[in-house]
Amino acid sequence: MRLSTSLLAAAGALPLATAQLHELAVKAGLQYFGAATDTPGFREREPYPESYAQYDAILEDPKEFGQTTPTNGQKWLFVEPEPGVFNFTEGDYVADLANRTNKILRCHALVWHSQLAPWVETTEWTKEGLREAIVRHITEVAGYYRGRCAHWDVLNEALDEDGTYRKSVFYNVLGEEYIRLAFETAAKVDPEAKLYYNDYGIERPASVKTAGAVRLVKMLKDAGIKIDGVGMQAHLHADNHPSEADLINTIGQYKELVDEVAFTELDVRIKMPVDEQKLQWQSECYQKVVGACVKTKDVCVGITIWDFYDPFSWVPHVFAGNGASLLWFEDFSKHPAYDGMVNYFGELIEAQEGNATSCRV
């Protein structure tokens, strides 16, 4: 899909010259603006081999994206498909890309209830057996990538929608203990990595799930266990999303407990078909995330979008009737949200420079 000039104008002002997202984010005081990516030839990427060259050129541009995350390649299903048998091929694809293009690498995810190897869910676990499996998995995976991961999502989506613990195989056998065990083990194996709790639906300040995330982090802190950050996945909706003030409020709650937060899997889905109004809402949502992170840059370290090219998005495969959630359409034309973010970064940078000038006078 390619947008007309009138539609672009309707959804945001013209871009600031040739400025690009990571370049602007760093200038605004963040550590990075990044994009997650997956292994070529698999899953959502499989049907589009003709797009790889153009896609790779955008992804590898250091001014556009200064950070990346493997969307799938480090998950249990792929790295430990059989007990004690490890395969780092898919994780290495993204880790090597990050190293080759000088990008920050966020690693994802050591313990998660989904995309588990089948043996994890079918084994009749004793408590001791599952403890050993968790320790072995984290020790091998985090140990293999030691020194390469700036952040690790140690625990992903451990909360249910009501803010209580999700009844996963890990929780059903070990209860809350598995959470402490995961973070304790990760801290021993890779003491330099920033260790994160990562979840969706924890972006709104009054959400019961946000309250659950606060309780989970506080439990770890009270036990003296290292946790450095909270990852707000931010899988958001164009037509119903948090305000910038709400995002800032939520970040403030996490700031009381951890040293940093990040937007880790940002996308903004649209109820299809796309139209001007929906793209306007989407642009506004992306800008609110930018504003919230920059305005709390003492704790918010960066923003990662969950891939950048619409055909590679997970959204249409999981949420029927939704799509166009990223920043580049199938023909590689940009969503208006891209220019909206560029312009808002510019406004925020200008305001910072103005404040700095005032302080010097």
Active-site residue list? 157, 265
Specify whether the CB–CB gap between 230 and 202 falls below 8 A.
Answer: yes
Per DSSP, the residues of 74-93 read TSHHHH-SBTTB---HHHHH
What are the distances in angstroms from CA 244 to CA 241, 267, 269, 335, 342? 9, 16, 18, 20, 17
Helices 208-222 and 177-189 pack at an angle, to 10 degrees, of 60
Task: Provide the terminal-to-terminal Cα distance of the chain, rounded to the nearest Å.
Answer: 50
Task: Supply 39's token pair.
Answer: 């292994």
Specify whether the CB–CB gap between 43 and 72 falls below 8 A.
Answer: yes
Scan for tokens 């990075």, then name that residue: 32
Task: Supply 149's token pair.
Answer: 């991961």
Who's near 145: CB < 8 A, 6+ residues apart?
A: 74, 91, 95, 107, 190
- The C-alpha atoms of residue 130 and residue 119 are separated, in whole angstroms, by 12
Who's near 27: CB < 8 A, 6+ residues apart?
A: 345, 349
Scan for tokens 């937007």, then name that residue: 263
- The C-alpha atoms of residue 11 and residue 283 are separated, in whole angstroms, by 7
